[in-house]
Amino acid sequence: MNIEQVLEMWKEDSIIDDLKLDDTTVRMARVHSKYLELITISKMRRKKKDLDYKTLLKDKWLYYNGKLSKDQIDAFKWEYDPFGGL
């Protein structure tokens, strides 16, 4: 789901019927729940990406500083010489 789809959903969900305010109030609780779920999922995805990035950064730091074993380098399928013979 991208931002355009969320904005399109919001255009439909944000309409308030002035003649049926009691129904609209009940509906807004469901709309709140819907968007709370969307933002929670988005935050969880962001945290997962941040964790993946930090793990890769640590592994690359170990790789470029020569701290990884040959087995670990093989597991990542990286070359043994990080600097390409420099």
For residue 38, the enclosing domain spans: 21-76
What confidence tier does 21 reach under pLDDT thresholds 50, 70, 90? Answer: confident
Tell me, yes or no, whether 81 lies in a domain: no
**pLDDT tens figures, 27-46:** 999 999 999 999 999 999 99
pLDDT above 90: residue 16: no
Q: How far apart are CA 41 and CA 45, in angstroms?
A: 6
Tell me, yes or no, whether 11 lies in a domain: no
Mean pLDDT of all residues belonging to the chain: 93
Tell me, yes or no, whether 84 lies in a domain: no
Tell me, yes or no, whether 39 lies in a domain: yes
pLDDT above 80: residue 86: no
**Count of domains for the chain:** 1
pLDDT computed for residue 47 by the predictor: 98
**9-18 contacts at long range (C-beta below 8 A, 24 or more positions apart):** 10/35
The DSSP secondary-structure symbol of 82 reads T
CB distance 64 to 57 below 8 Å: no
